[in-house]
Structure 1
Amino acid sequence: MLSTYVDLSDTVIFFAIPGSSPTFYVYIVLIADYNYRYGHNLIIVYYLVKAPCYMNDTQFRLRPSSFDTLLDLLSETSDPFHERYGKHLSKAQVDELMRPSNETLQEVKNWLNWHGIADPELSTSLDRSIALTVPVFLAETMLNTTYHVFEHAKSQKKTLRTLEYSLPRHLHSHINLVSPTTYFGTTESMRANSFLQSRASGSNLTGDTTPLIGCVDTVAPTCLKDLYNTANYIPTQISRNGIGIPGFIDQYASFSDLTTFTQDFLAPGHQRNLHCEATVVGIQLTCKLDLFCEHLRAGITGGDDGFESFLDWLDFIATVPDDLLPNTFSTSYGDDEQNVPADFAVELCSGFAELGARGARLMFTSGDTGVAGALCETNDGVFRPAFPARQLPLCGGFSNLFARPSYQEDVVSAFLIADGNNNAGLFNTTGRAYPDVAARGQGFQTILDGLVETIDSTAGSSPTFAGVIALLNDFKLAQDGTTLGFLNPLLYANPTALNDITIGTNAGCGASGFDAGVGWDPVTGLGTPDFVELQAII
C-alpha cells in the first residue's frame, strides 16, 4: 500500500513506498510550480564573465517552528514595564523555539532526495539548516535560475552568484534563505569602518595613563572614562561578564599589540586577557579597539564573503553555552542596506533576535560616510541606509526594509515634525530609524604592528559604547544576577539618561544629510552615555 502526499494547490504529488530499504520515492511534478520569490536590485559594480563548471556549496536555512514566540518573549523580557523584564531565555529554551518542525525537515529532505541528493550527502547545523555541495547545473535546476561568475569592476574579485532564484511553492513556508545566491558582499562593501592616520613624528607613549590635554585631537581610555563618567566604577563580576568581537574579511587578533596597548594605556592591574574562539581555523580578527571592558572574547570566522560569514558566526554563537556567552557584542563592520537582499537581511536579524533573547546585547557601527552610503551611489538618488547599523553615527537615517518599532515612535515622530519638509522624498519616513545612540568616533589611539596609530571611525564608537554597557552589566549582575540584554526599550523610555548632542550633521557625497538637534535625531540618536545616569535607571 502506498502512502500518498497530495498538495493540489501546487499540483505536486509525492509517493513514498514503505517497507523498502533504502526507501524509494516517486516525486511527480504535474506542472512546474516554481514561484519567483527572491531577487535583488543591485547597483552593478560587477562585470559578468562566463561561468565554468563549478561545484557549489549551498546552504538552506530552515524556518524555525516558534520564531514568533521567541520575538514575543524578547519583547517582554526587554520591556522595562513588563513583569518578565530581565528574565532572559536559556540556550536550551532558545534552541527549542528555533528548531524547525519535523515537517519542515522532512519536506526539504524529500525535495533534495527527489533531485538525487541522498541523506548521507547532507550536513545539518543545529538541525536549523541543511548544507550540501552540488554541481552548479544541479543548483540551477533546483532553484530555477542561472549562476554566473561576476567580477568586481574595481577589485577584480570573482564570485559565483545569481541575480534571482525561485523555490517550489510548497517550500516557501519551510525555507527562509538559500545561500549563497543573490548577496554580493565583498571586501569592497563589507568594510571595516576605519581610517588610519600616520603616527605623529616624535610621539612616544609611556605607562602614564593621563589623557592628553583636552582630549580634543586624540583619545585614550582615561579620556573616555572621564567623558562617559565611568572613572570611579570598579568592576566586581569579571568572571561572568565580557565583550565578544566578531571578525571578518581575514582580519585577525594581534596578541602582541594587545599586550603593548594594555601596557601603554592601562594602569597596572587593569590588563585583560584575550580569549579566541574559531569557527574556521586560521582566520582571526582584529580587536585593537577594546578600551575598558572586562574579558575580551574574539569570535573568529573565515572567509571574506561579507555577511555570508556572519551567518556562520551566528551559527557558531548559537552553540556557545550560557556560562560562556559574552553579554555584549561589538561589531565594526557593515554594508549598505541596498546591497543586502531582503531575505538575507531578515535571516541575519533573526539571529540577532536569538542572541537578544538570551540576554546578549549587540552593537553595530553605522559607518563613516554619511547619508549617501559607502559608494556614493544609489539606484534612485535617495539617501542610502546602512545595514545592520542601528546603533551609532555617522551614517544615520531610516531603513527602507524594516518598519519602525513601537519604542521609537514618540521620539522619531517628534523629530519628523520638527524637521518639516527637509530632505522630503529622500528617505522612508516610516522606516526603522537609526542610530540609537552615539559615542566618540575621532582620534582613537591604538596599536598597530607595535606603533601608535590614530583612528577616526565609528569602529571606535561601537566598542566604546559596548564598554559602557559591559560595566552596566557588571553593575546589574552584582545587583540581581541578570544582564541588560536588548536594552533599546529601556533607553528610549529614559532618554535623559544620555547626553543629548544638539550640534552636527551627517552630510556625505554632496548630500546635506540630517542635522542634530534637541532630542533624538538621525545623526547622534539619543546621545552619548552617562554611566552614572544609566546606573540610576537599571
Structure 2
Amino acid sequence: MGWKARLLLLISCAATICARAVPETHVVHEKRNSIHSRWTKKFRVHPRATLPMRIGLSQRNLGNAHKYLLDVSDPDSPNYGKHWTSEQVIEVFRPATESVEAVREWLTEFGISAKRVTLSENKAWLAFNVSGQEAERLLHAEFYEYEDSVTGGKIPGCDAYHVPKKLQKHIDYISPGIKLLAPFTSGRSKKKRGTNGGGPVKLPKKYHRLSYPMKMPTTGNLSNCDSIITPDCIAALYQIPPNKINHPNPANTMGIYESEAQYYTQQDLNLFFANFTPNIPNGTHPALASIDGGPGPTNRLSDAGGEVSLDIQLAFPIVYPQSITIYQEDDAVYELNPNQTYTWGFNHLLDAVDGSYCNYSAYGETGDDPNLDPIYPDPAPGGYKGQVQCGVYKPPNVISISYGGQEVHVPWAYQKRQCNEYLKLGLQGVSVLFASGDAGVGNYPAPFSADGPTGCLGPQGTIFNPTWPNNCPWITNVGATKVYPGHTVFEPESAVYDPAGHPYAVDYSSGGGFSNIYSVPDYQKQAVQTYFGEHNPPYPYYSTIVNNTDLIGSLGADGGIYNRLGRGIPDVAANGDNIALYNAGQFQLSGGTSASTPIFASVVNRLNEERLSAGKSPIGFLNPVLYKNPEVLNDITNGTNPGCGTVGFSAVKGWDPVTGLGTPNYPKMLELFLKLP
C-alpha cells in the first residue's frame, strides 16, 4: 500500500472508527433484518460521543415459569393453591450471581472499570456510559445515528452486535443496539371522552354505549331480559344467590382497572342502587387506588364515564357487601389530551402492584418504555409531579380489565414482558381477567380503527386480527353472550352479535380467534384439538408462531387467514349486551365484552370469599381448573363472531373461539372450588 493510500485510510479512521474483524470467540447476539421506512440511517456515531449502555441480564428459570404456575393452578397438582409470595417470585427469577459476575469480568477485561458500572437493585441489568469508540470495539459493531421521519428524533443503533460466545447465555439484550423505538402511532391517538373515536389502548366499547329513552323495568321482573339486562337477569342467568356474608374478608376487595380518565359519580350509583338493588344503601362506592395521578370520582354529571359506570354497576350487585377497588391509571393530562399519542398501557398498573416490575428486564425491555409509556413526573401543567409508583398497592385477588387492543400493534418485546408479569401475578394467587374484544375475529374497520377498510390483516384485509393482551396464555379471556329477542333467561344464551345499525354504529360480536405470537398452552391443547377435530372451521389456515410483531404482516402468504397453532381466545364468556345502567344521571343501555368481564370477575370474587371463609387460598389462575372441569360452565352452542368478510367462528359444543368454555354456573363452580384444596 502506498503512502497516499495509508494516509487516506488514517484520515478515514480518524473521522469514523475503523471496523475490526470479529474474533472467533464472539458470536452475533442480535441482528436486524430490516428497518421500518420511517427510519433513515444517517451518520456514523462520533468516536467521542457518549452512549448510555445497558446490559439486560438473562432471567433465571423463565423456561420453567409456566410449569411453576401450573404447579399451583392445576387441580390435579399436590401444590394446588400453594401460591408464592412476591419475595419468592423475585428470588426465583432474578439473574444468577454467575451472570452478573461473568459480564462484569468481561467489561473489566475490556477496560471499563468497576466504578463506571452500576447494578440495578434487582440485579436485572448493568448500566454504564461508553464512548462511541468503546461501544463499537466492545460489541464489534458499527453504530449510526438513525433519524425518525415522524418525530424528527434521533437515536443511536446498529444493524448487529457481537458478544463472547461464553457470555451469550447470560445476556438478554444490550441497548443501544438493534431496536429503534420512537413514539409509535398507528394512525390513531387517544381521544377525549365523549368523542367518536378510541385509542388503541382501549377496545372502543364506547361505540356500544347507548343513550335513549327506555321504559324502566321493575325490580324482580325477568320478562324483559331479552331487551334489558338488569342485576336480576344476571342473577337468574348464572344462578347467583344473594350474598349472605355479613362480614366479608377485608383483604378480598375486587379490583377493577380503569384508564382514559374515567370518572364515576355517586349520583349515578345512587340512582342505580335505588332502582335495581335496594339492598345496597345509597352512598356505597368503590375505594380508589390512584396510580400516577389517576383521577377519582366527580360531582359533575357531564364528566361521568360510561366505562367505569358500567363496571361498577355490574360488579356491586354480585359482590356486595364485599368491597371494590378501582385501580385508576395515569393522570388526566395524559388521558384527556386529544393529541396524545401514548398508545399502550398496563405497565403503570403492573408497576403499582409489583415494585419489582419497575426494573424487571425481559426481551430487551426494562421498566417503563419512555417511548411508549407516559413519563412521570409529568411536566405539563396540572400533571402528576411524583415519581412512577412502584409496589404501592397490594394486588387484589381478582382484577377485571376491559381494555386492550390488537396484538399486531404492540411491540413484541413489550407484550411478552407484560405476559411474564401476569404469570407472576398468577403465581401469587391473583386472577387476571381481560375482555376479549368486540369486533369478532378482526378489528373495527376504518374510520373506527387504523386497520384499513376491513379491520383485518394482510394485503387483501382478509386475515383474522387477534386481540392483546388476550393472546397471553396466563390470563383469562372473557367473551360475550346475549339473550336473543324472544328468549328468556331460563334458555341457553347465544354468542353476541349485533349488525351495524342494529343498534350500534359498527358490527358488534364477541372477540375470538387464535394468537400469532403465543402457541396453544398445555392446559388448552385438548380443548383446541377437540374443536378442530369435531368442528373444523371452513377456512384456509397457516401454522406459524412469530417472534416479532413485524413478522405478522408476512403471515397468510399461502392463503391462510387464521393461525392453526395459536393460543385460543376467549376462555369463558358472560352476558354483554343491553346492560342497564345509569350514567350522567340518565338511564341507558350498554354492551361489550367490557360488560362480560366484570360479571365473570365478580363471580370469581364471590368464590374467593367462600374459599377464604373455609380457610383456603384464593383461586388464582383460573384456566387449568376450568379446562379440566368445563361442566361447571354453561356451554354456548349458538352464534358466530363475524369479521374479515366471513361469519367468523361458530359457537359449538365444548370450547370454541367465540364464547370459550361458556358462561358461569355459580352453584357448580362453588361446589367445585370448595372441594379443591
Confirm or deny a common fold (TM above 0.5). yes
1:314 aligns with 2:350: yes
Whole-Å separation in 2 of the counterparts to 1:310 and 1:60: 24
1:175 aligns with 2:209: no
Whole-Å separation in 2 of the counterparts to 1:257 and 1:56: 55
Corresponding letter in the other structure for 1:297: T
- The 5 Å alignment of 1:431-442 reads 431-442=566-577
Please point out which of 202, 219, 237 is paired with 1:191. Answer: 202
* TM-score between both structures, scaled by the size of structure 1: 0.77
Whole-Å separation in 1 of the counterparts to 2:119 and 2:262: 28
* TM-score between both structures, scaled by the size of structure 2: 0.63
Name the residue aligned to 2:230.
220
Whole-Å separation in 1 of the counterparts to 2:267 and 2:174: 39
Name the residue aligned to 1:268.
279
1:384 aligns with 2:519: no
Indicate conservation of the 8 Å contact 1:33/1:168, yes or no.
yes
The secondary structure found in structure 2 opposite 1:215 is coil
The secondary structure found in structure 2 opposite 1:415 is helix
- The 5 Å alignment of 1:25-424 reads 31=22, 35-37=29-31, 63-104=58-99, 124=120, 128=124, 148-149=147-148, 151=150, 168-169=162-163, 170=167, 173-175=170-172, 181=181, 184=184, 187=190, 188-195=199-206, 196-201=208-213, 209-210=219-220, 213-235=223-245, 236-248=247-259, 250-256=260-266, 259-260=269-270, 261-269=272-280, 272-282=284-294, 287-288=308-309, 289-290=311-312, 291=315, 292-293=318-319, 294-302=322-330, 303=334, 308-319=344-355, 324-374=394-444, 375=451, 376-379=455-458, 381-389=462-470, 391-393=477-479, 394-420=510-536, 422-424=538-540
- The 5 Å alignment of 1:509-520 reads 509-520=644-655
The secondary structure found in structure 2 opposite 1:278 is strand
The secondary structure found in structure 1 opposite 2:574 is coil
Whole-Å separation in 2 of the counterparts to 1:311 and 1:131: 22
* Residues 252/423 of structure 1: CA separation in 2 closer, same or farther (3 Å cut): same
Corresponding letter in the other structure for 2:286: L
Structure with more of its chain in strand, by fraction: 1
* Residues 99/419 of structure 1: CA separation in 2 closer, same or farther (3 Å cut): same
Whole-Å separation in 1 of the counterparts to 2:99 and 2:660: 41
Corresponding letter in the other structure for 1:101: A
Whole-Å separation in 2 of the counterparts to 1:306 and 1:483: 35
* Residues 414/30 of structure 1: CA separation in 2 closer, same or farther (3 Å cut): same
* Residues 363/120 of structure 1: CA separation in 2 closer, same or farther (3 Å cut): farther
Corresponding letter in the other structure for 2:30: Y
The secondary structure found in structure 2 opposite 1:313 is helix
Name the residue aligned to 1:9.
none
* Residues 474/341 of structure 1: CA separation in 2 closer, same or farther (3 Å cut): same
Whole-Å separation in 1 of the counterparts to 2:142 and 2:406: 26
The secondary structure found in structure 2 opposite 1:244 is strand
Cα drift, residue 306 of structure 1: 6.3
Indicate conservation of the 8 Å contact 1:164/1:181, yes or no.
no
Whole-Å separation in 2 of the counterparts to 1:287 and 1:164: 45
Whole-Å separation in 2 of the counterparts to 1:41 and 1:506: 36
The 10-residue stretch of structure 1 (425-434 or 462-471) with the greater mean CA deviation from structure 2: 425-434
Whole-Å separation in 2 of the counterparts to 1:164 and 1:267: 64
The 10-residue stretch of structure 1 (93-102 or 365-374) with the greater mean CA deviation from structure 2: 93-102
Provide, for residues 76-117 of structure 1, a one-character-per-residue CA deviation record: whole Å limited to 9, x for no partner. Answer: 111101111111111221121233334555677899999999
Instruction: Among all aligned residue pairs of Structure 1 and Structure 2, give the percentage whose two residues are the same amino acid.
Output: 25
Cα drift, residue 181 of structure 1: 2.6
Indicate conservation of the 8 Å contact 1:161/1:184, yes or no.
no
Cα drift, residue 133 of structure 1: 12
RMSD value, Cα: 4.5
* Residues 272/357 of structure 1: CA separation in 2 closer, same or farther (3 Å cut): farther
Aligned residues: 498
Provide, for residues 265-306 of structure 1, a one-character-per-residue CA deviation record: whole Å limited to 9, x for no partner. Answer: 433346754222233124579632132333222223335676
* Residues 66/203 of structure 1: CA separation in 2 closer, same or farther (3 Å cut): same
Corresponding letter in the other structure for 1:184: F
Indicate conservation of the 8 Å contact 1:328/1:470, yes or no.
yes
* Residues 421/167 of structure 1: CA separation in 2 closer, same or farther (3 Å cut): same
* Residues 413/307 of structure 1: CA separation in 2 closer, same or farther (3 Å cut): farther
Whole-Å separation in 1 of the counterparts to 2:580 and 2:135: 48
Cα drift, residue 203 of structure 1: 5.5
Whole-Å separation in 2 of the counterparts to 1:163 and 1:512: 45
Whole-Å separation in 1 of the counterparts to 2:401 and 2:41: 36
Provide, for residues 372-420 of structure 1, a one-character-per-residue CA deviation record: whole Å limited to 9, x for no partner. Answer: 2343131354212111225122111111111112222222111101233
Whole-Å separation in 1 of the counterparts to 2:578 and 2:113: 55
Cα drift, residue 71 of structure 1: 3.1
Corresponding letter in the other structure for 2:408: Q
Whole-Å separation in 1 of the counterparts to 2:115 and 2:280: 54
The secondary structure found in structure 1 opposite 2:205 is coil
* Residues 321/342 of structure 1: CA separation in 2 closer, same or farther (3 Å cut): closer
The 10-residue stretch of structure 1 (430-439 or 182-191) with the greater mean CA deviation from structure 2: 182-191
Provide, for residues 233-284 of structure 1, a one-character-per-residue CA deviation record: whole Å limited to 9, x for no partner. Answer: 4345341212222333x33342536643445443334675422223312457
Structure 2: stretches of 5+ with no match in the other structure = 1-18, 43-49, 191-198, 297-304, 336-340, 356-389, 445-450, 471-475, 480-509, 542-560
Provide, for residues 434-459 of structure 1, a one-character-per-residue CA deviation record: whole Å limited to 9, x for no partner. Answer: 11101111112334333333222111
Whole-Å separation in 1 of the counterparts to 2:54 and 2:594: 30
1:468 aligns with 2:468: no
Whole-Å separation in 1 of the counterparts to 2:55 and 2:203: 28
The secondary structure found in structure 2 opposite 1:287 is helix
Corresponding letter in the other structure for 2:93: M
Name the residue aligned to 1:3.
none
Provide, for residues 27-51 of structure 1, a one-character-per-residue CA deviation record: whole Å limited to 9, x for no partner. Answer: x987497643578998x9xx77999
Cα drift, residue 463 of structure 1: 0.9
Whole-Å separation in 2 of the counterparts to 1:408 and 1:227: 26
The secondary structure found in structure 2 opposite 1:300 is strand
* Residues 70/212 of structure 1: CA separation in 2 closer, same or farther (3 Å cut): same
The secondary structure found in structure 1 opposite 2:437 is coil
Larger Rg over CA atoms: 2
The secondary structure found in structure 2 opposite 1:223 is helix
Whole-Å separation in 1 of the counterparts to 2:657 and 2:256: 25
Corresponding letter in the other structure for 1:217: S
Indicate conservation of the 8 Å contact 2:41/2:145, yes or no.
no
Whole-Å separation in 2 of the counterparts to 1:125 and 1:209: 56
Cα drift, residue 175 of structure 1: 3.2
Indicate conservation of the 8 Å contact 1:435/1:522, yes or no.
yes
